[in-house]
Structure 1
Amino acid sequence: MIRYAAEPAYVLHARAWRETSLLVEVLSEHHGRVGLVARGVHGPRKQALRAALQPLQHVRFDAVQRGELAWLNAVEAIDVAARLPRDAALAGFYVSELVMRLAPREDPHAQLYALYGQVRGRLAGDGSLAWTLRRFERDLLEALGVGFDLSRDGDGDPIDPAARYRIDPEHGPRRSRIERDADRDRHASGRALLALAADHDQPPPVEDLSGLRRALREVLSVHLGGRGLKSWEMMGDLARMSAVPAQADDSVS
């Protein structure tokens, strides 16, 4: 049996369960990802409880776990999660879904907890969403022990800012041979990789972000077992409905 007492956590996801309860996934500071059952959350007197269990919310909770899930006894909000506009809200859904899919349950991971809090703050800012997500993907892979030195290729040679690269999930960046101009955006520019390696606050040029997104998505897809994310589908639908598809596609996914 595990007892959680005033455990800080971020809410990743919540969905209805039975008639009056919720199944909630949280990323806790000292115990990693934890699945919770929140009972009796409906009714006018439970508004504060429901608000505390919204995705991206920072909370403290008490619970008891005897099996796969913990039964929630109490929860309180540490702060008020920012109201995000559409694209930033989709980005937040994506970040939470990635953590849910890649972080094992009940595996203490203080670095990942801190990373989630950092990206949560950045999503509420006015910086580039695409760049915020690329930095998060890099840091998430690093925190899970499968990241790379993006300043060098898989052979140890310095990245050429003028070249194009794909990212091998096991060996890191590999220089690409681009035979058609149409293939350029399917590979990351060396310039973008170097900016990501140096953790620049300012993103690389817009024309480099699409290739970087695709290169990192290939790596993530491998670690996701080839099964995509719901957020990727939603972002793709958003791009197709947008009046400027390329811009929408690169802004959030």
Structure 2
Amino acid sequence: MRVEQQPGFVLHARPYRETSLLVECLTRDHGRIGVVARGVRNERARLQRAQLEPFQRLELDLLLKGELATLRGAEPSGAVMRLTGDAGLAGLYLNELVVRLTGRQDPNPDLFAHYERTLRRMAGGEPLAWTLRRFERDMLDALGYALQLDIDANSGEPLDPSIRYVYDPESGASPGRPGDPHGLRGADLLALAEDRSPDVAGLSSLRRMMRQVIAFHLGGGELRAWRVLR
């Protein structure tokens, strides 16, 4: 099947055979696709490797057959989003997260929109910690793993902003014990639910919670980017 002018982003690329790359792309209408970019490591290739850099929206022409697609063309679309320093590391984290939590050829336009919006926020200089928490929340929702952030899992009552809770990836938030290092304030969970940035302590608590939730969905594994960001 020929796919033409498909909006997409490069998530990861690695050498494939002598002169090619195997590229993981997130596309709007076909989800994550493994793409063979033939000959792009050859200096005289028509399609240069520079066109396949992360964080640049592309219009992709693909020949989709079986599990892998063959790249027929790639053209930049829109302004280049420059992510440098900590923003660049955060962008690589997004890419690894998408690769690890999604299957190939599982269409998810909502995830594509969340990913592109997050890159624009980071390129625009928005606070990285809050931007990442928003993406993690929205990505889990798009994948069918939505977080329950405003209801007590035990009582079914709304969360109390003044109470500390522990978050279980399967059941949600329940009141924690005093001094529990994994506890977080109800106010912080409600802030994430209402798309309001909490304070620094709240962002730190939400970061720990999100890592726990993501590790659960990875089957207990972890991301390489966590060690770098640490």
With the length of structure 1 as denominator, give the TM-score of the two structures.
0.85
Structure 1 residue 132: deviation in Å? 0.5
Does the CA contact (< 8 Å) of 1:49 and 1:75 recur in 2? no
Identify the residue that residue 14 of structure 1 maps to in structure 2.
13
The percentage of counterpart residues that share the same residue type is 48
Identify the residue that residue 185 of structure 2 maps to in structure 1.
189
Q: Any residues of structure 2 matched to 1:78-227 within 5 Å, and which?
A: 78-155=77-154, 156-179=156-179, 183=181, 186-200=182-196, 203-227=197-221
Distance 1:24 1:221 in 2: 25
Structure 1 residue 48: deviation in Å? 6.6
Q: Secondary structure at the match of 1:55?
A: coil
Identify the residue that residue 232 of structure 1 maps to in structure 2.
226
Call closer, same or farther: CA 1:125–1:53 in 2, change over 3 Å.
same
Distance 2:18 2:184 in 1: 48
Deviations 1:216-241 (A, max 9, x none): 111110101111111112112xxxxx
Structure 1 residue 46: deviation in Å? 4.9
What 5-or-longer segments of structure 2 have no aligned partner? Answer: none
Q: Secondary structure at the match of 1:62?
A: strand
Structure 1 residue 126: deviation in Å? 2.1
For 1:39, the aligned partner's letter is R
Structure 1 residue 80: deviation in Å? 3.9
Distance 1:132 1:176 in 2: 27
Does the CA contact (< 8 Å) of 1:167 and 1:216 recur in 2? no
Structure 1 residue 106: deviation in Å? 0.6
Q: CA-atom RMSD, angstroms? A: 1.7
Identify the residue that residue 241 of structure 1 maps to in structure 2.
none
For 1:167, the aligned partner's letter is Y
Does the CA contact (< 8 Å) of 2:21 and 2:41 recur in 1? no
For 2:169, the aligned partner's letter is P
Distance 2:178 2:18 in 1: 56
Structure 1 residue 45: deviation in Å? 5.1
Q: Secondary structure at the match of 1:159?
A: coil
Larger proportion of helix? 1
Does the CA contact (< 8 Å) of 2:55 and 2:82 recur in 1? no
1:71 paired to 2:70:
yes
What 5-or-longer segments of structure 1 have no aligned partner? Answer: 237-253
Q: Report runs of 4+ in structure 1 exceeding 4 Å deviation.
A: 43-48
Q: Secondary structure at the match of 2:173?
A: strand
For 1:101, the aligned partner's letter is R
Call closer, same or farther: CA 1:42–1:179 in 2, change over 3 Å.
closer
Deviations 1:113-133 (A, max 9, x none): 111111111111222111111
Does the CA contact (< 8 Å) of 1:187 and 1:212 recur in 2? no
Structure 1 residue 85: deviation in Å? 2.4
Deviations 1:18-55 (A, max 9, x none): 22211111111111110001011135555973222111
With the length of structure 2 as denominator, give the TM-score of the two structures.
0.93
Structure 1 residue 152: deviation in Å? 1.5
